[in-house]
Chain A
Amino acid sequence: MLRNSEAEPEVTEPIVLRHRVLPEFDRLTVYRQHGGYQAFERAVRSRSPEAVIQLVKDSGLRGRGGAGFPTGVKWSFLTPGVFPRYVVANADESEPGTFKDREIIERNPFQFLEGVAICAHAAQANVAYVYCRGEFWDLTSELDRKIAELEGAGLLGDGLFGTDYSLRIYTHLGAGAYICGEETALLESLEGKLGQPRLRPPFPAAEGLYGKPTVVNNVETLANLPLILERGVDWYRSVGTKQSPGTKVFSLSGHVKRPANVELPLGTTFRELIFEHGGGILGDKKIKAILPAGASAPILPAADDVLDSGMDYESVAALGSALGSASIIVLDETVNIAWAEAKITDFFEHESCGKCTPCREGTYWMKHILGRLMTGAARAEDIELLHSVGTGIRGKCLCALGDFAALAVTSGIERFGTDFKVHAVNGQ
């Protein structure tokens, strides 16, 4: 992959986790001392929404919520001439192994909120909602105080910067349902309904919240915007790879010495993340497998070619998995992969919203077969059965959750078959 510097791992200046290097960055005065809210003010005063959309397109910024869709392109799909429009920040963060949006909101709230504001200006929206998972109760109260502070400082509200633009940001708490992270389920939930995905098209940019054109973006995506506007496209593109520009906040968890969020250029290798930034494997054991996107992408054997691969959307796809939200879960040699996939299946069975039969029933069956396997009550044929239930789910569901659940099981069996057989043999 194209890297900024092939020679040595770059210690890039953080773009999103700036609070790591700038003390008290969660205070508005401090944030403003470092140029905070200049990008938003300049945009409102003198940059047309179209110009901002073009700039974000040119920056190559891709959505950080999982799908990696180009952000500016998504904004350009807003149905022309239809108002009101809405912006929704997706702070549902519930993917196992993902804890980056929480750090951003907690420690760098004003940069995130400025990103929301910039997005709202580009979308010509006067109202934006931040949909937070219900567990972020305390975090959300704190965010409410920050929003009030911005209103007090004249950075949110009516007639901003002497123009006729007005913007209000409201928080909205979910109540414990992973599926509400899926953007259309989120919109249903925000409308006060069951959080179940909608049939698409129409996409939210055409018919989103209350049937109006809506932009839904992940917290980290939005937090990138202020510096992109301030420093420009060339600067942004100087980091990361050609097709995956910029940095990514990698949530590193599992069997590493130092689990943490680490912000690195897209395209950094797994090896660098795990062994340099993560300090290597706990107890200096051997690394066995990597889940690159929490529960929602096929598991990868931690062979050298995988470890030396760059973490960007294209490279991880080429390995037969996906970068997704970049929640890197590391499994050491002691882990039985059938056990890990049983936990993951448990998760998906619990979180399936029940709207489509293959997902609802399929996750139920996979959970039960894996349960038999883990209690030593399964036979060798059960592994084939498990695989075929997984294959049966794929491509037949309304949202990606069904496919994620299926891929966890099928990739586990295909790549770590012996780990499944051990249990079956014991059970005979």
Chain B
Amino acid sequence: MAALAEKYRAEIQSILAKYPPEHKRSAVMPLLFVAQREYGHLDRQAIAEVAALLQLEPTEVGSLIGFYTLFHDRPGPTYRLQVCTDLPCALRGAEEFARELRQELNVSQGEPDTDGQIAVEEVKCLAACDRAPVFQLQEPGGIHYYENQTLETALAVVEELRGRAGSD
């Protein structure tokens, strides 16, 4: 199986072109992002594919997954609303915001909702402390910031996501 290699040939080529040919390994994180976009998470199969692309041992690739918080090794919610509750945001009400959002969605910290689509997680500083409360939306295809949030605006985002998930 070399599904990624075929489906994303051009993208993989342009990633590899950034690094000296003898230091291909540098491409491992960008390629893991490609794999995560395709598969939603990074299981053994995904890791083996990325390892094969770079002629690395799967264990060398696998050890990275646990180290970096944006990689996920098991199936999870499609959409992760990651609210910053680090100190500067906490001083501006981010902890209450996260709590209220979870209450409103009837989920507990980090647990997905009943459809398994959406989870509310708490994360460390996102470099947006002047615009608290803030969350980033991590989905397989990317990460987007939502700043100066209120419960209403956040719930509107959730509605929109549910609509998207429903229409897939």
Contacts and interface: CB of A to CB of B under 8 A. Distances in A.
B155 interface: no
Contacts of B143: 134-135, 137-138
B29 A189 contact: yes
A7 B162 CA distance: 58
A263 interface: no
Interface in A226-274: 251-255, 259-261
B29 A173 contact: yes
Given A99-B127, A173-B29, A259-B129, A329 B88 contact: yes
Most A Cβ at <10 Å: residue of B126, B136, B144 = B126
B70 interface: yes
Residues of A in contact with B, size category: 35 or more
Contacts of B129: 96-99, 251, 253-254, 259
Contacts of B105: none
Interface stretch (A30-38, A190-198, A309-317, A409-417): A190-198
A255 B54 CA distance: 48
B127 A176 contact: no
A136 B136 CA distance: 10
Given A96-B87, A175-B68, A253-B91, 14 more contacts: A96-B125, A96-B129, A98-B129, A99-B127, A134-B143, A135-B136, A172-B30, A175-B29, A175-B32, A175-B70, A192-B27, A194-B67, A252-B130, A329-B87
Interface of A: 93-99, 101-102, 129, 133-138, 170, 172-178, 189-195, 210, 251-255, 259-261, 291, 294-295, 329, 331, 335, 340, 343-344, 347, 350-351, 353
Given A96-B124, A176-B68, A350-B124, A194 B63 contact: yes
A112 to B, nearest CB: 15
A97 B124 CA distance: 10
Interface in B12-54: 18, 20, 23, 25-30, 32-33, 54
Most A Cβ at <10 Å: residue of B63, B67, B90, B127 = B127
A94 B124 contact: yes
Q: Which 7 residue pairs of A and B lie closest in terms of their CB atoms, listed nearest first?
A: A176-B69, A175-B68, A192-B25, A176-B70, A253-B88, A137-B143, A259-B130
B18 A261 contact: no
A191 B29 CA distance: 10
Most A Cβ at <10 Å: residue of B23, B63, B125, B142 = B125
B146 to A, nearest CB: 11
B82 to A, nearest CB: 9
Contacts of B27: 192
A251 to B, nearest CB: 7
Contacts of A93: 127
Contacts of A101: 127
A178 B145 contact: no
Most A Cβ at <10 Å: residue of B23, B86, B87 = B87
B128 interface: yes
Contact of A192 (B29, B33, B90, B128): B29
B23 A210 contact: yes
23 contacts: A94-B127, A96-B125, A97-B88, A97-B125, A129-B18, A134-B70, A135-B127, A174-B29, A176-B70, A190-B26, A191-B25, A191-B26, A192-B27, A192-B54, A252-B130, A253-B88, A253-B129, A259-B88, A259-B132, A260-B130, A329-B87, A343-B90, A347-B125
Contacts of A193: 25, 64
Given A98-B125, A135-B127, A175 B144 contact: no
A210 B142 CA distance: 29
A209 to B, nearest CB: 9
Interface in B121-141: 124-130, 132, 136
A350 B69 CA distance: 10
Nearest to B33: A173
B145 A138 contact: yes
A255 B29 CA distance: 37
Contacts of B87: 96-97, 254, 291, 295, 329, 340, 343-344, 347
Nearest to A141: B142
A95 B125 contact: yes
Contacts of A133: 127
B28 A192 contact: yes
